[in-house]
Amino acid sequence: MSGTAETFRCMACGHEYQEGVESGEDKERSCPKCRSNSIRHMKAKAPPAKAVPPGAREPQTPRSDNDG
């Protein structure tokens, strides 16, 4: 494994982008758009809750392990 893609946001222009980061690294970053170094690391969180009532789950679909 070589890191994971994290989301960053530029505080200067508001540009959001993803970049692969190593575990535990904290190197300086710069906005690929405006070159500003005011980059904030966006925490990976679950997407906004949809209008799906609890209990309305999707039916289980058969997994195809042979797909890859």
Nearer to Zn ion, 5 or 13 (CB): 13
Q: Tally the C-alpha atoms within 13 A of residue 62's C-alpha that lie toward its C-beta.
A: 2
Strands (E) located in 1-68: 4-10, 16-21, 39-42
* 3-state percent breakdown (helix, strand, coil) of the chain, nearest 5: 0, 25, 75
Question: For residues 12 and 21, which CB has a smaller minimum distance to Zn ion in the complex?
Answer: 12
Q: Which of 9, 12, 29, 30 binds Zn ion (CB under 5 A)?
A: 12
CB of 32 to Zn ion, least distance (A): 8
Closest approach, Cβ 64 to Zn ion, in A, equals 42
Among 3, 19, 33, 40, binds Zn ion (CB under 5 A): 33
Integer Cα distance of 34 and 23 in angstroms: 26
Which positions lie near Zn ion, rule CB under 5 A? 10, 12-13, 15, 31, 33-34, 36
